[in-house]
Amino acid sequence: MKKLLLTLFIGLLSIHLIGCSSIISNESPQKQANTQEKNTEYKRIEVELVRPSDGDTIAVHYKGNRESVRFLLVDTPETSHPRLGEQPFGKEAKEFTRKLVENAQKLELEFDIGPQRDKYGRLLAYVYVDGKMIQEELLKNGFARVAYIYPPNTRYVDQFRAIQKEAQQKGIGIWEIENYAQEDGFHPEIIDSKEKKSSQADEDCVIKGNIGKEKIYHTPDSPWYEKTKAEMMFCTEEEAVKAGFRPVKP
């Protein structure tokens, strides 16, 4: 009788364990890993702001010392670089960061698993203002590009690239100008080249369009050309006609 009861007990225990095992196995290892990653909270250290330095750099009080903090994985245009000078959108990025850090009730740093300082001695960190990460905000608004990716400090690089892609598609900030922001940095010469071409085109477009009771265009040979105030400029007479203008009567 005892043997029968023992056998029944072992059988029921086996069924129970198999059932539990099947429940656990319903969640794939990948899903379990993702859940664990999602629930991971990385340590943040609260610091006191000294002053904003640039779009991607601030000065803080950290462990009793004044420290410069360089934002990990992003790069904003320069405002006063000794070699590069001031770059387009540099002032806008600096002002954006300044407002965030100066208006924050709580300023925090989060370090990655790699080096905590760069070759200049600056702290490398993800920076939070009232729970929002500044890197993400800069990327969302088109004031920064994803850059300086040095493993193992790459915790949020995929996340940052996804945000950057959205800003690129919207064409905002540094992405307003094609090829200004590139893999190797910012290229103000692209803007200078485009402005030069535009200026050259304006010089070639000498036909004046005047809008009164009628839309009339004047070529340099027209008798009233010098006295005509141009409200529109055209490069060819065909272009003026397409815009609804007629030539001045002789």
Choice among 67, 78, 92, 108 that is catalytic: 78
Choice among 67, 70, 92, 145 that is catalytic: 70
203 is known as an active-site residue: no
183 is known as an active-site residue: no
70 is known as an active-site residue: yes
Dihedral sign (CA 20, 21, 27, 33): positive
Choice among 44, 98, 117, 122 that is catalytic: 122
Active site residues: 70, 78, 122
